Structure 1
Amino acid sequence: MSTTIELIGVPTDIGAGARGASMGPEALRVAGLIEMLKNHGLIVIDSGNLAGPTNPWLPPVNGYRHLAEVTEWNEALHEASYAALQKGHLPIILGGDHCLGIGSISAVARHCRATGKDLRVIWLDAHADFNTSELTPTGNIHGMPVAILCGHGPEQLIQIGGVVPAIDSDVVHQIGIRSVDEGEKRFVHQQGLEVFDMRYIDEHGMRETMARALDGMTDNTHLHVSFDVDFLDPAIAPGVATTVPGGPTYREAQLCMEMIADTGRLASLDIMEVNPACDVKNQTALLAVDLVDSLFGKSTLMRDAK
């Protein structure tokens, strides 16, 4: 039986420090995401875009920017994503900024608790996103979702999903990190987050990095990939507001996606931070769709199962 994909658009830049990621869902659709998925023999349901508050573009209050609006968007996403999982669908969240990882991953964690699955999160990003109100230099909540999911944040966000923390830090494996704030760096170390930064990838290569990040999964593993397009080097993916030089190349990113596909365990996906306002002819959304194509099994040759 074919897998059913459910696309959930979340058109907001409420957690970001620049406008434009709210246009990301449509950019991904225009880039041919639906057609590509159908070419894999998948059933695709496009649930359209969620609705939520507009971006008031106000300064932070007590270390959090737009906390009420971020909460409302993430609560809506949590419910939509959990409903898709309950139906046996594979949700693909079209962001939107990466604060939406709170609603998405808390829903996956809730689903795993209900079904007895073991959660594994592969977090593809230039940033660790492990800030708190005390550590953040900006107050932008898109720099905080992993910390919030691990129970470090405001009450209304950490309790989305009904259990605090939503996840344990040891389920998260971060790839491609190369920008971490000073206080955040110490906090990541204290919490024992597994981070394969760009130095690790430079020294050991993407193959060993992904082999380690994916090691130990079983048939009972629910694999969630949270793909922030600033994971990629800005030379190939300029359409993000938070570019950091020195990210994975096209081939490194393809290998990363291909090795995830080889596991056969992908069960939910975020595509975050596509910002058409920063892009050139939608090339970043087109590249994201190309990489997601590999995530669902596109390969140059027919390969034997590992």
Structure 2
Amino acid sequence: VSALGALKGLEAQRPAVLWYDAHGDFNTWETTPSGFIGGMPLAMLVGRGDLQYLRGIDLTPLAEDDIVITDARDLDPQEAVALGESRVTHLPKVEDLLAAPLPDKPLYIHMDVDVIDPSKMPGLGYPAPGGPSVEQVLATLRRVIKERPLAGMLFSLWDQSKVTDERALQAVLRMVRTVAGT
């Protein structure tokens, strides 16, 4: 849900959104089986469901055509239908980003690190089996930042209390360095 605030701060740039996530985050209060608000922010951003959070920060919904979500391998049934019927671009494999057209505007990147295979990324808040490697994600980030200006980036769902080694921290730092060009 922190993406709402981040995009409010970037609103003047009118960025498109590139959403990396193992989950769709495309539920609404009417479709969610769990009632977990963390599964709704992308739907909220495009004006689906209850708009009280957008109204609360005076954020105009984004056009579905300006949203690209990649992976989203763990979708609830109604969420999958809603995403499939939307104009949001869904790239089921992160590697699809290597060749897919990107919106022609600055990008806000939402990096939910649970997009990465949990066997390679310990400490995930909501792990979902499968997913790309850190290297595959890095390759797509390199392509994206080479072709589009970066408006902003947010990392989410890494739970340090669940981490038993340095792999997760190193993976996140590699992503930050890649985007920062260092």
On whether the aligned pair clears a TM of 0.5, the verdict is yes
**1:282: how far off?**
4.3
Task: Name the SS for the 1:225 alignment partner.
Answer: strand
| 2:88 equivalent in structure 1 | 193
Matched residues in 2 for 1:100 and 1:185: separation? 22
Question: SS where residue 123 of structure 2 aligns?
Answer: coil
Find the counterpart in structure 1 of residue 6 from structure 2: 104
Instruction: Report the Cα offset of residue 192 of structure 1.
Output: 2.2
CA contact (8 A) 2:30 2:49 kept: no
Q: Distance in 1 between matches of 2:98 and 2:65?
A: 16
Give yes or no for the alignment of 1:135 onto 2:31. Answer: yes
Given the two structures, how large is their TM-score scaled by the length of structure 1?
A: 0.56
Whole-angstrom CA distance in 2 between matches of 1:277 and 1:210: 33
| Pair 163,290 (structure 1): closer, same or farther in 2 beyond 3 Å | closer
Partner of 1:250: 134
**How far apart are the structure 1 equivalents of 2:128 and 2:85?**
24
For 2:179, give the aligned amino acid.
Answer: L
Amino acid across the alignment from 1:104 = A
Distance 1:104 1:213, change over 3 A: farther
How many Å separate the matches in 2 of 1:122 and 1:294? 16
Q: Does 1:120 align with 2:10?
A: no
The question of whether the paired residues in 2 share the 8 Å contact of 1:103 and 1:160 is answered with: no
Q: Which amino acid aligns with 1:149?
A: L
Gap change, CA 1:283 and 1:107, over 3 Å in 2: same
Q: Paired residue for 2:164, among 253, 264, 280?
A: 280
- CA–CA separation in structure 1 for the residues paired with 2:121 and 2:21: 13
What does 1:2-151 align with in structure 2 at a 5 Å threshold? 99-108=1-10, 110-112=11-13, 118-151=14-47
User: Do the aligned partners of 1:152 and 1:158 also contact (CA within 8 Å) in 2?
Assistant: no
Q: 2:62 corresponds to which residue?
A: 167
Q: State the distance in 2 between where 1:102 and 1:142 align.
A: 11
Indicate the residue corresponding to 1:209 in structure 2: 97
CA distance in 2, matches of 1:184, 1:264: 29
Percent identity, aligned pairs only? 25
Structure 1 or 2, whichever has the larger Rg, is: 1
Contact 1:175 1:196 in 2 (8 A): yes
**Would you say 1:157 and 2:53 are equivalent positions?**
yes
SS at the partner of 1:287?
helix
Q: Residue 141 of structure 2 aligns to a residue in which SS?
A: helix
Q: Distance in 2 between matches of 1:266 and 1:111?
A: 14
Unaligned runs of 5+ in 2: none
Partner of 2:79 in structure 1? 184
How many residues align? The count is 182
Could you tell me how far apart the structure 2 residues matched to 1:124 and 1:213 are? 16
Q: Which residue is 1:40 aligned to?
A: none
